[in-house]
Amino acid sequence: MDALDRAIVNRLQDGFPLCERPYAAVAAELGCGEDELLARLDDLLDTRILSRFGPMYHAERLGGGLCLVAMKIPPTDFERVAALVNALPEVAHNYEREHVFNMWFVLATETPQGLSDALARIEHDTGYSVYAMPKLREFFVELKLRA
Amino acid sequence: METGSLDALDRRILLATQRGLPLVARPYHAVAEQVGTSAEAVMARMQHMLDAGIIRRIGAVPNHYALGYVANGMTVWDVADDRVFALGDAVGRLDAVSHCYLRPRKRPEWPYNLFAMVHGHDRAEVEHKAGQIAELLGDACSAHAILYSTRILKKTGLRFA
Reference A54, options A110, A12, A8; nearest CA is: A12
Q: What is the CATH number of the domain that holds A69?
A: 3.30.70.3460
ipTM of the complex: 0.76
Q: Are residues A23 and A67 in the same domain?
A: no
CA–CA distances in Å: residue B34 to residues A21, B15, B23, B24, B30: 18, 10, 14, 14, 6
* % pLDDT > 90, chain B: 70
Quick check: A12 contacting B, CB < 8 Å?
Answer: yes
How far from each other are the two terminal CA atoms of chain B, in whole angstroms?
8
Residues B79 and B141 in one domain: yes
Q: Is the pLDDT of residue A143 over 70?
A: no
Q: How many domains does chain A have?
A: 2
Chain A: residue whose CA lies nearest to B49: A57
pLDDT tens sequence across B46-60: 999 999 888 989 999
Cα A105 to Cα A82, A123, B156, distances in angstroms: 10, 14, 11
Whether residue A30 is found in the same domain as residue A66: no
C-alpha of B43 from chain center: 24
pTM: 0.77
Amino acid at A14: D
Same domain for B40 and B85: no
Mark whether A71 and A10 lie in a shared domain.
Answer: no
| Residue B12 lies in domain | 8-51
Preceding amide of B108 cis, omega within 30: yes
For A73, the domain range is 60-133
In a domain, A67, yes or no: yes
What pairing do the DSSP bridges indicate for beta strands A91-97 and A103-109?
antiparallel
- B111 close to A (CB below 8 A): no
Q: How confident is the model at residue B3 (pLDDT cuts 50, 70, 90)?
A: very low
Q: Tell me whether residue A106 is in a domain.
A: yes
Q: Say if residue A38 is in the same domain as residue A66.
A: no
Examine residue A15 and state whether it is found in any structural domain, yes or no.
yes
Q: Is A120 left (phi over 0), alpha (psi -120 to 50) or beta?
A: alpha
- The pLDDT tens digits of the residues spanning B9-21 come to 999 999 999 889 9
In a domain, A39, yes or no: yes
Pairing of strands A131-133, A65-71: antiparallel
Q: What's the mean per-residue pLDDT of chain B?
A: 91
Question: CATH number, domain at B17?
Answer: 1.10.10
Q: Is the predicted pLDDT of residue B152 greater than 90, yes or no?
A: no
B24 lies in some domain: yes
Q: How many domains does chain B have?
A: 2
Q: pLDDT digit string (tens) for B66-114?
A: 888 889 899 999 999 999 999 999 999 887 788 899 999 999 999 999 9
Residue B160 lies inside a defined structural domain of this protein? no
What end-to-end distance do the CA atoms of chain A give, in Å? 9
* Residues of A (33-72) whose Cβ lies below 8 Å from B: 34, 38, 41-42, 44-45, 47-59, 61-64, 68, 70, 72
A interface mutation test: which of B2, B14, B93 has the most A CBs within 10 A? B2
d(CA B47, CA A17): 10
